[in-house]
Chain A
């Protein structure tokens, strides 16, 4: 059944008699349309209800953890041990109820979140009761593995997001305690499977979009942690490939959608803009490459092979995305697809040509950032998209303002450039708003 917001259906039902009176629609067609929207569509999720129920279950779950963390010494050890099962039993009951009776998305999400938090609470409470020594990675891994099946059984986003947060946290804790967190890639596989299935079946549903944002955030943060950093600067190629692939898959799966409706593209483009900005600084390119391989007790001997394998895997994903998305022949697709090539070029130049290499790499990225900003301004004007236009101007302004402070310009020159940039922003936005109004675009 299609999901259409209740507000839109109400608006349509108000419009139908008007269209009937105007003679545009016959009364029979009007009745058919009305019946279709009443019987064949379901009202979409009410965001406020969903947000508050998710927030409510998060607060209750966290509250229970804190309540037990107080440590009720008045209660005997055995009473506390029995009580430790209570949150888990309540969570399990709620989940079973949500599965048996279809009480809507809000209830399902709340039950899933509460159940997921309750698992962690129960293990933590038993640890407290029996003075079990702190082992953060072990605790997080047990918690994550115990809620993993919930992400599959429940058609809810909450447990998946908690699972992603846990494996991301495990990654950091394991890297600190054990010196490596390679198992992260295995833990990520089920989440990847779930998110891929969601994109295939219902790619435009809000829960799919939120899950995609969660998945990309987890992957981006964890990639930096899992990387052994034995070869300095290899992360530049890995991140360039990851973000470019995300943006290209966004164009492939969601086509012209942007903003929240296209999490892959939005995440990829914002990431690319941030990386590009970082790479405009020549310091970022210093002492990188194979000549600076790190040794020592905290750098594993297998780190070189491991980091290279991850980088190659990400490059393969990027090639796949680029080949598939290239069919669209658009300027944006071409720019995003080329980004990892420029990143690799910068890495090769900086690792092979010393100071000249650093300078050339940073100059290339200054030019690329200028082009990126300009491209989005042009695309925004051409497609009448204010978001693209403002994004492009923000990128361009950031570059100009930074380079402006970087080079020692006088106050007068700085003042004039700031005023010009501000005026450009205002005038272009005004023109665009008027144009949109004229064209009747909301």
Chain B
């Protein structure tokens, strides 16, 4: 009986080890093989009771401006594939979406949030644009508990005058944050500087 219990315990421990191992493996794969994109962001600093302090990232481009597909069939939380490219300034932006992963372009596996409308002025004319908001699956950047609040302050100041962005690697639709930059420096480096 004891042998049986011990065998079952070993099986359980193997499963318990496999789950975190698989998490690491998938993230390492994205970091090694993924294409790098820069997402413009604005940081906020909250805390998680289990994982510690992090900088919450509020992305400027978390919507798809226009799409060729109809949004009528979409419900909140539906999984979609957002197609992305780099804009003129080299930052990531979404330009279309599909229900299946596209074969010939970069895409992010994400979820549909809601429809929204925004106004853009172009050549003195105000245009009403329909957009769909998506959920970006990389909104946390964990930091040292002492550095995180300082990093958030510095990056928020930096975001007002210069660009603050997150370097994100994307591979087969899955994403992993590599680093967050403000004033052209990694956030941890910026927070460590004495000012």
Q: Contact residues of A with B, CB < 8 Å?
A: 65, 68-73, 81, 84-85, 88-89, 92, 95-96, 99-100, 119-134, 139, 142, 146, 149-150, 153, 178
A131 with B138, Cβ < 8 A, contacts A71-B52, A73-B144 known: yes
Contact A88 B17 (CB under 8 A): yes
CA of A179 to CA of B63 in the docked complex: distance in angstroms? 23
Contact B16 A69 (CB under 8 A): no
Residue numbers in B under 8 Å from A72 (CB-CB): 144
Residue numbers in B under 8 Å from A132 (CB-CB): 23, 27, 140
Q: Could you list 21 A-B pairs, sorted by A, with CB under 8 Å? A: A69-B53, A69-B145, A71-B142, A73-B144, A81-B24, A84-B20, A89-B17, A92-B9, A96-B6, A96-B9, A120-B50, A123-B19, A126-B20, A126-B23, A127-B23, A128-B52, A128-B142, A130-B176, A131-B142, A131-B177, A153-B9
Residue numbers in B under 8 Å from A95 (CB-CB): 9, 13
Which 10 pairs show the lowest CB-CB distances between chains A and B? A69-B52, A124-B50, A130-B27, A128-B51, A92-B13, A131-B177, A128-B142, A149-B12, A73-B144, A124-B51
- Closest chain A residue, CB of each to CB of B191: A73
Contact B20 A88 (CB under 8 A): yes
Contact B51 A153 (CB under 8 A): no
A139 with B50, Cβ < 8 A, contacts A92-B13, A123-B20, A132-B140 known: yes
- Closest chain A residue, CB of each to CB of B147: A73
Interface centre among B24, B51, B53, B145 (most CB of A within 10 A): B51
Contact B52 A99 (CB under 8 A): no
Interface centre among B24, B50, B145 (most CB of A within 10 A): B50
Contact B139 A88 (CB under 8 A): no
Contact A70 B52 (CB under 8 A): yes
Residue numbers in A under 8 Å from B140 (CB-CB): 131-134
The 0/1 profile, CB within 8 Å of A marked 1, for residues 3-23 of chain B is 001101110110111011101
Contact B141 A131 (CB under 8 A): yes
- Closest chain B residue, CB of each to CB of A131: B177
Residue numbers in A under 8 Å from B2 (CB-CB): 99-100
CA of A171 to CA of B13 in the docked complex: distance in angstroms? 26
The 0/1 profile, CB within 8 Å of A marked 1, for residues 162-184 of chain B is 00000000000000110000000
CA of A206 to CA of B24 in the docked complex: distance in angstroms? 41
CA of A81 to CA of B26 in the docked complex: distance in angstroms? 13
Residue numbers in B under 8 Å from A81 (CB-CB): 24
CA of A95 to CA of B6 in the docked complex: distance in angstroms? 10
CA of A95 to CA of B48 in the docked complex: distance in angstroms? 28
A149 with B51, Cβ < 8 A, contacts A73-B143, A132-B23 known: no
Query: Which parts of B145-161 form the interface with A (CB within 8 Å)?
Result: 145, 147
Residue numbers in A under 8 Å from B17 (CB-CB): 85, 88-89, 92
Q: Counting CB contacts under 8 A, is B188 at the interface?
A: yes
Interface contacts beyond A134-B48, A134-B139: sample of 4 additional A-B pairs, CB < 8 Å, sorted by A: A85-B20, A124-B50, A128-B52, A128-B142
Contact A92 B16 (CB under 8 A): yes
Interface of A is mostly: helix
Minimum distance in angstroms from B92 CB to a CB of chain A: 17
The 0/1 profile, CB within 8 Å of A marked 1, for residues 87-121 of chain B is 00000000000000000000000000000000000
Residue numbers in A under 8 Å from B48 (CB-CB): 69, 124, 134
Query: Which parts of B48-62 form the interface with A (CB within 8 Å)?
Result: 48-54
Residue numbers in A under 8 Å from B27 (CB-CB): 130, 132
Contact B9 A73 (CB under 8 A): no
Residue numbers in A under 8 Å from B177 (CB-CB): 131
- Closest chain A residue, CB of each to CB of B13: A92
Minimum distance in angstroms from A147 CB to a CB of chain B: 8
Residue numbers in B under 8 Å from A69 (CB-CB): 48-53, 145
CA of A204 to CA of B42 in the docked complex: distance in angstroms? 58
CA of A139 to CA of B24 in the docked complex: distance in angstroms? 15
- Closest chain B residue, CB of each to CB of A148: B12
CA of A139 to CA of B19 in the docked complex: distance in angstroms? 12
Minimum distance in angstroms from B111 CB to a CB of chain A: 11
CA of A289 to CA of B23 in the docked complex: distance in angstroms? 48
Residue numbers in A under 8 Å from B188 (CB-CB): 73
CA of A153 to CA of B24 in the docked complex: distance in angstroms? 28
- Closest chain B residue, CB of each to CB of A70: B145
CA of A123 to CA of B147 in the docked complex: distance in angstroms? 23
Minimum distance in angstroms from A271 CB to a CB of chain B: 29
Contact A123 B23 (CB under 8 A): yes
Minimum distance in angstroms from A122 CB to a CB of chain B: 5
A125 with B9, Cβ < 8 A, contacts A133-B138, A146-B16 known: no
CA of A222 to CA of B107 in the docked complex: distance in angstroms? 39
Residue numbers in A under 8 Å from B52 (CB-CB): 68-71, 128
Interface centre among A68, A89, A123 (most CB of B within 10 A): A123
Residue numbers in B under 8 Å from A70 (CB-CB): 52, 144-145
- Closest chain A residue, CB of each to CB of B179: A131
CA of A85 to CA of B20 in the docked complex: distance in angstroms? 8
CA of A99 to CA of B141 in the docked complex: distance in angstroms? 40
Minimum distance in angstroms from A57 CB to a CB of chain B: 17
- Closest chain B residue, CB of each to CB of A146: B16
CA of A297 to CA of B15 in the docked complex: distance in angstroms? 39
A130 with B23, Cβ < 8 A, contacts A85-B17, A119-B16 known: yes
Residue numbers in B under 8 Å from A96 (CB-CB): 6, 9-10, 13
CA of A329 to CA of B12 in the docked complex: distance in angstroms? 48
CA of A313 to CA of B33 in the docked complex: distance in angstroms? 52
Contact A130 B24 (CB under 8 A): yes
Minimum distance in angstroms from A194 CB to a CB of chain B: 15
Contact A99 B143 (CB under 8 A): no
- Closest chain B residue, CB of each to CB of A84: B20
- Closest chain A residue, CB of each to CB of B22: A126
Minimum distance in angstroms from A214 CB to a CB of chain B: 21
- Closest chain A residue, CB of each to CB of B46: A134
A99 with B16, Cβ < 8 A, contacts A69-B51, A128-B52, A131-B142 known: no
